[in-house]
Amino acid sequence: MLNFNGKKRKEIFGKNENAPQNPKVLEVNLIKDEIQVDFDWRQNFGTLLFSLFVAALFVAEIYVGLNWWSEYEEERVSAAEAKFNQVSKQIKEMRTESDEILAFKERSDLAQTLLDNHVYWTNFFNWLEKNTLSSVNYLAFSGGTDGAYQLEATTKTFRDISWQTRAMLADPSVLSAKVNSGSAERDESEDQASVSEVVNFTLDLKVDPQLFKAAENK
């Protein structure tokens, strides 16, 4: 009995050792222990070249775009600088012309003022000569274009002072004419053969200034 069981047990163990194994189990064990990766260069070479071409094309587009943008900005800056220089030149020319025009206007205004004053005083002195007695002589004059004047004069008698004042007031353009005082002095000739009396007086005269301006425009 014992020998039979022992042989049977041996056969069972032998059967287990020599029995074929499941190929799927072997495959799982191989994948688990070692992974083998194979890359087929011939099959994937075209894909690699296409990827490199696309990358190069993308880089080229970026380079061309940046180059175009740089040239565009340079042209825009150059155009703006040229426009600025042109405007600056025009401003300088206009400023020069403006200075010349202003200088000419100032000279013209000054000349016109001098001419107006010349005409004004010419008309005034012509009017004064026409309204002065032959016995009255003027020694000094002060006044402006406002119509107020002070005339230092001499005559032969005090009566001539009164007649001169009346002659001035007879003109409608005369606003006022007065003599506050007069003084007489003896005038001897060089040979002392003749002696005459001279009366000095100051005539304060006020005339409408538009009189001579109106005469200027006639």
Most confident of 79-83, 116-120, 188-192, 199-203: 199-203
Q: What is the mean pLDDT of residues 174-199?
A: 76
Q: Where are the domains of the chain?
A: 2-33, 131-217
Could you confirm whether domain 131-217 is CATH 3.30.1360? yes
CA–CA dist 134, 195 (Å, integer):
20
CA–CA dist 37, 206 (Å, integer):
127
Burial of 132 (0-12, 13-18, 19+ CB in 10 A): middle
pLDDT computed for residue 170 by the predictor:
92
Looking at the predicted structure, is the pLDDT value of residue 45 above 90? Answer: no
Residue scoring higher pLDDT (26 or 200): 200
pLDDT computed for residue 41 by the predictor:
61
Please state, in angstroms and as integers, the Cα–Cα distance from residue 118 to each residue in 33, 129, 195, following that order. Answer: 127, 16, 40
Place of tokens 């007489």: 184
pLDDT computed for residue 40 by the predictor:
61
Q: What is the mean pLDDT of residues 53-77?
A: 86
Looking at the predicted structure, is the pLDDT value of residue 65 above 60? Answer: yes
For 51, how many CA atoms within 13 A lie in the half-sphere containing its CB? 5
